[in-house]
Amino acid sequence: MSTLTQTIMNALAATGSSTVFNTENYRTVNLTLSGAGTPTGTVKFFISDQELAPDATAAASPTNQWAYVGAVDLQSGTVIAGNTGVAFAGSNATNMYAVNSNGMRWTGAVVTAYTAGNYTVLLRAHAAMAPAV
């Protein structure tokens, strides 16, 4: 299985969710997050294993199953708690994060606490490596 690359959020300038992408055949998901235009807000990553894509702008429930997921900042190695997310405080920035999705069916991003700017997320999913024989 090959690597998959997809822009799941393109210059979103409001609270809201990215395209929710099917990552069930992938173990690791790398996300490149950019904030531009004096971004002030928070971006959180989420996963879900329900049959249909969840709506991360609505509360999680038995019929809308999703959860924020922690991510590793690939620059610093710091783990960012899923409920905390990546906060922007007015400075344009681009950084890369890794999420261990462990084959969860859906992965996405959501902008919360929006005040200004716009946010873009590029998702790159990597298939699980076959064991050595």
Per-position pLDDT tens, the chain of length 133: 567 789 999 999 999 999 999 999 888 899 999 999 999 999 999 999 999 999 999 999 999 999 999 999 999 999 999 999 999 999 999 999 999 888 899 999 999 999 999 999 999 998 765 444 4
pTM over 0.85: yes
Q: Does domain 4-52+65-126 have CATH number 2.60.120?
A: yes
Domain extent listing, the chain: 4-52+65-126
Q: Parallel, antiparallel, or unpaired: how do β-strands 21-22 and 16-17 relate?
A: unpaired
Going by C-alpha positions, the residue among 112, 90, 86 that lies closest to residue 99 is 86
